[in-house]
Amino acid sequence: MSLPSLPTNFGSENFKAHAKYTAPVRRPVEPVGRYFLAHASRALRGHTWSEYEKIEAEKNVSVVSEADEDADLGDEQQSEELLSHDPRDWKTADLYAVMGISHLRYKATPDQIRRAHRKQILNHHPDKKGENNLHADGFFKIIQKAVETLQDPVKRQQYDSVDENADVAPPAPKSKYDFFEAWGPFFEAEGRFSKKQPVPSLGTIESTKAEVETFYDFFYKFDSWRTFEFLDEDVPDDSSNRDHKRYVERKNIAARKKRKTEDNKRLLDLVARAFKEDPRMKLFKEAEKKEKERLKWEREAGARAEAEAKAKKEAEEAAAKKAAEEAAANAKADAKKAKEAAKSAKKKNKRAIRGAAKDNDYFGPIAGKSKALPYLAPLCSLYKSPAKTDPLNNRAHKGITPLTFDVFNKFSEYLPSIA
């Protein structure tokens, strides 16, 4: 960029001084910044550039490794309410949240608690927070109480016993829910208090009857280490009033027993409710019913076969009796018909005899007709009807049958005696 040329009439008289240089002053100057620190480190240790870069690379690897080591702790931030919590009332604070491991709680290992404490010290030390943060010192005291409690096995058990944030609520009564999704986490949370480990799982719908019975038997006989000392009223340390101290101790013992009894009853009631609502129990009952019916069917197989044989025999006897009765009835009917037929044939034969005598002029002169007629009827009655099987029992020769000839012969022999 070029400056514009001065006017032609611009001269030295046009130059004016608006300010002057001040007198020089000597002041101390110190080198600062990360580059100066790097230079100073190399100079003090006598390192070359390559040596210095190698050392810095190792430091970076160490920082990355440390970050990876704490990855399981997460990056949990404390709420403003927790940061401003009164350190005198530290027992009511969520100690796992104070340590930044509320997602782990009773599952946190001693090593995780140690690393979480180190991390919280670096983040919340009062010297780092400065004077403007009024709650830094109080929260730091709570951190110290939290690590003292959680690193001591006995104190940690006492705190875990009353850690309501780790409890899992059971499903609401008379509500629609998936049995295993609702009750599984509940029993897993309750199982942490068991003296006997491992705790059997709730299982699935495919679990066997033995597995289900083992699970419920375990929780019906649940042996819990849960205690309630953490909720004790603080016992005064002064020895001036020993009676009051003993009173507070007795009060604490009574309160612990009451809470323990109530907790045991609570768990037993919920176990009984889960047992009642377990869909597998209904399936087991149905299977038992079918098995009993099958065994009963097998036991009664002999009696059933005997009953079937008896019923078959009775049916056959009844059928035979009915057939015999029908045959007898048919025979009786046939006999009656035969008797009636014979009677009819007899009458017919009598009529034929009478007719034959008349048709043949009584086998003699007409003059003897009046004399022979009274004797014809008794004569006809002397003869039986011919047998049904007699092949000659038929009308032939214009109504003259062998019987007619027989009657004729008899009558011919009889006529002279009455002539």
Q: Flag whether pLDDT at 253 surpasses 80.
A: yes
Domain assignment of residue 153, given as a range: 72-166
Q: Are residues 382 and 345 in the same domain?
A: yes
Residues 374-386, mean pLDDT to the nearest whole number: 55
Q: Are residues 386 and 325 in the same domain?
A: yes
Paired tokens of 191: 């199982």
CA dihedral 260, 261, 266, 271 (to 10 degrees): 100
From 263, 290, 317, give the residue that closes a domain: 290
Q: Are residues 257 and 331 in the same domain?
A: no
Q: Could you tell me which residues come within 8 angstroms of residue 94 by beta carbon, excluding any fewer than 6 positions away? A: 82, 102, 165
Q: Are residues 201 and 226 in the same domain?
A: yes
The answer to whether residue 32 sits within a structural domain is: no
The answer to whether residue 296 sits within a structural domain is: no
Q: Are residues 316 and 269 in the same domain?
A: no
Residues 155-174, mean pLDDT to the nearest whole number: 94
pLDDT score recorded for residue 368: 52
What are residue 224's DSSP bridge partners?
194
Q: Where does the pLDDT of residue 81 fall: very low under 50, low under 70, confident under 90, or very high at 90 and above?
A: very high
Asked whether the beta carbons of 113 and 150 are under 8 A apart, the reply is yes
From 234, 255, 290, give the residue that closes a domain: 290
Burial level of 308, CB count in 10 A (0-12/13-18/19+)?
Answer: exposed
Q: Where does the pLDDT of residue 42 fall: very low under 50, low under 70, confident under 90, or very high at 90 and above?
A: confident
Q: Where does the pLDDT of residue 391 fall: very low under 50, low under 70, confident under 90, or very high at 90 and above?
A: very low
The answer to whether residue 6 sits within a structural domain is: no
Q: Flag whether pLDDT at 147 surpasses 60.
A: yes
Residues 125-133, mean pLDDT to the nearest whole number: 68
The answer to whether residue 48 sits within a structural domain is: no
Asked whether the beta carbons of 146 and 176 are under 8 A apart, the reply is no
The answer to whether residue 408 sits within a structural domain is: yes
The answer to whether residue 410 sits within a structural domain is: yes
Q: Are residues 203 and 159 in the same domain?
A: no
Q: Are residues 317 and 400 in the same domain?
A: yes
**Whole-number Å distance between alpha carbons of 260 and 263:** 5
pLDDT score recorded for residue 389: 38
**Number of structural domains the chain divides into:** 3
Q: Are residues 274 and 224 in the same domain?
A: yes
Q: Where does the pLDDT of residue 174 fall: very low under 50, low under 70, confident under 90, or very high at 90 and above?
A: confident
Q: Flag whether pLDDT at 82 surpasses 70.
A: yes
pLDDT score recorded for residue 398: 44
Q: Where does the pLDDT of residue 263 fall: very low under 50, low under 70, confident under 90, or very high at 90 and above?
A: very high
What proportion of the chain, given as a percentage, has pLDDT over 90?
45
Q: Where does the pLDDT of residue 393 fall: very low under 50, low under 70, confident under 90, or very high at 90 and above?
A: very low
Q: Are residues 183 and 161 in the same domain?
A: no
CA dihedral 88, 89, 95, 97 (to 10 degrees): -100
pLDDT score recorded for residue 56: 79
Q: Where does the pLDDT of residue 130 fall: very low under 50, low under 70, confident under 90, or very high at 90 and above?
A: low
Mean pLDDT of the residues in the chain: 83
The answer to whether residue 41 sits within a structural domain is: no
CATH code at 77? 1.10.287.110
Among candidates 334, 315, 314, which has minimal Cα distance to 326?
Answer: 334
Residues 239-261, mean pLDDT to the nearest whole number: 90
pLDDT score recorded for residue 30: 85
From 109, 133, 166, give the residue that closes a domain: 166
Q: Are residues 87 and 135 in the same domain?
A: yes
pLDDT score recorded for residue 277: 95
Q: Are residues 156 and 214 in the same domain?
A: no
Q: Identify whether 7 is preceded by a cis peptide bond (ω within 30 of 0).
A: no
Q: Are residues 280 and 309 in the same domain?
A: no
pLDDT score recorded for residue 74: 86
Say if pTM beats, i.e. exceeds, 0.85.
Answer: no
